[in-house]
Amino acid sequence: MEIDEQELSKKLAEFAGFYEGTHIADSWYERRLKWRRGDKFWVPPGMLIQIKLPNFPQSQDACEEWLVPEITKRGYNIHIHYVVGKRPKVVISNTCFTYSATNDKVSLAFCLAIEKLINKES
């Protein structure tokens, strides 16, 4: 099964409270950051800065920074199981529901488990 990591990142960013905008300015500073007019940007919740979309499936740091607080705020616990000789398993659960996924990359397994949670809530 092929995973579209860019679409998954967008879905997770919206889950974490980001919203998407279109870049309209063209200052020297933005050119230095390699921004171009018309580029899409994402604004994190509670901030006024513009950032490129985090690549959640490839970055465990981005998952921990943006997704873990949202999951715990919603009352879920996160467990990562490592077993020798097997792929890591990420389990997201509360008293009623459990969502889990496995993958060679922990960050992708984490994202897939959250996607299951998002699909169930919507």
Helix (H) or strand (E) segment spanning residue 8: helix 5-15
| Total count of domains within the chain | 1
Q: How much is the pTM?
A: 0.78
| Domain range for 115 | 54-122
In a domain, 47, yes or no: no
Burial class from Cβ neighbours inside 10 Å (0-12, 13-18, 19+) for residue 84 reads exposed
In a domain, 110, yes or no: yes
In a domain, 83, yes or no: yes
Report pLDDT digits (tens) over 63-119: 998 899 999 999 999 999 998 889 999 999 999 999 999 999 999 999 999 999 999
CATH number of the CATH domain containing 106: 3.30.160.20
Burial class from Cβ neighbours inside 10 Å (0-12, 13-18, 19+) for residue 65 reads middle
In a domain, 102, yes or no: yes
In a domain, 8, yes or no: no
